Amino acid sequence: MLSPKIEEALNAQLNAETYSGYLYLAMAAYFENMNLTGFTQWMKCQAREEFFHASKFYKFIIERGGRVRLRAIDAPQVEWESPLAVFEATLVHERQVTSLIHNLVNLAKAETDHASDIFLQWFVTEQVEEEASADQVIQKLKLAGPGAGLFMIDQELAQRTNTPLVTGALMGTAAA
């Protein structure tokens, strides 16, 4: 059974993860308008991953006897100065999500909610990967500069796909 504080915090994180999915869809649309299909693919995969994260919170709240309380999702930013600016915003956003996850872990420990603490450890590890992934693209964009290098990175980013677990969960064919 979830405490009221934990339930509220998990619902807030479900909202934050859903917002993240919206943000990455907005970034995908930005790249699509620029005909950067690889960047679009990367952001669409990122959006699916964030919606998968939201589904994990949804399922966990239910499994622990809590009540899912969906909230309004804020409209994300839709314009940026450059592909580099998009990925810099991505890294800033992922660092904010990391902070939210760390706050949840601290709350779970304070409430001696071991199940929530264990559940959240997956997200702690995931956030390390999320930040590193965004930073890797930033470093490549800085090295490439404007011009032909952007198209090489676009081709590389087009190779990203979601894991079968993420894809299956969003299609209703795998346990989320």
Measured in whole angstroms, how far is the alpha carbon of residue 75 from the centre of its chain? 16
Structure tokens of 95? 């660092």
Identify whether 172 is part of a domain: no
Residue 175 lies in a domain: no
* Residue in 74, 13, 16, 125 with CA at minimum distance from that of residue 2: 13
Number of domains composing the chain:
1
What is the pLDDT tens value at each position of the chain, 176 positions in all? 899 999 999 999 999 999 999 999 999 999 999 999 999 999 999 999 999 999 999 999 999 999 999 999 999 999 999 999 999 999 999 999 999 999 999 999 999 999 999 999 999 999 999 999 999 999 999 999 777 788 889 999 999 887 766 655 555 555 54
User: Is residue 176 assigned to a domain?
Assistant: no
8 A C-beta contact, residue 57 and residue 17: yes
CATH code of the domain covering residue 61: 1.20.1260.10
> Is residue 173 situated within a structural domain?
no
Residue 77 belongs to domain spanning: 4-165
